[in-house]
Amino acid sequence: MLRYTELSAHPSRIPRVRSFEINPEGKAFIRRSPGSRGSMREQSVSLLLLILLAAILIIGFDSLRQREPQGSSKCPRVNALFCPEDGCSRAIISLFDRANETIDVAVYSFTHPDIAEALVRAKERGVRVRVILEAEQLTSYSQYGRLRSAGIEVMLDRNEYLMHDKFAIIDGKVVVTGSFNYTVAADERNDENLVIISDESVAERFEGEFEEMWKGVYGR
């Protein structure tokens, strides 16, 4: 059997040595270096270790994500309106008309007839409606009488100071608050803001405040 060695080189590469053998039948073949199989085996092991490491990282990430408190990354949906251009009364009426279970309102001044009628419609659908009004705002324009005549629970604020809140909670899920009083002036002339927050945890905070006022407790 004849053997010979070929040395090839490239300017940018390390010289490579290849060994050839010619067997008795005259056929030539490349003789692999003793370390070539070991090198391939090492590459296979390295690849397997990388795959295992990637799998461990993925499993660990999923495990950490499952341990996060449910809803911890959930952000409330918030919409801000400015009146008169954004139609605050229309937004409030739309929310009241979609209420299914409860509407709780605490508002300083309530003279807007269309908002009052939205509460009356809700009451007629079987929604529990409760309203707290500031006693000093009980004027001839107040919707207090209309609400009471429709069977809606209305309470005049018993705090010795002003009840200056302007908020509503719908179905324990949505809060409507801001500077907007339920008046035609606020809806059509004044510069007002209305913020609609769709978040149960925020609604729970407002509901707690409403319940305190409803019971005559004012945090003092």
CB of 195 closer than 8 Å to CB of 76: no
Which candidate in 112, 157, 165, 166 is catalytic?
A: 166
Which residues, at least 6 apart from 146, have a Cβ–Cβ distance to it below 8 Å?
113, 116, 120
- 142 phi and psi angles, rounded to 5 deg: -65, 145
The identity of residue 79, as a single letter, is N
Cβ burial, residue 155 (10 Å; 0-12/13-18/19+): middle
Q: Is 215 one of the catalytic residues?
A: no
Q: Is 123 one of the catalytic residues?
A: no
Q: What are the CA-CA distances from residue 194 to residues 9, 45, 144, 212 (Å)?
A: 79, 64, 22, 23
Which candidate in 164, 173, 187, 199 is catalytic?
A: 164
Q: Is 166 one of the catalytic residues?
A: yes
- 42 phi and psi angles, rounded to 5 deg: -65, -40
Which candidate in 86, 114, 171, 199 is catalytic?
A: 171
As annotated, the active-site residues are 164, 166, 171
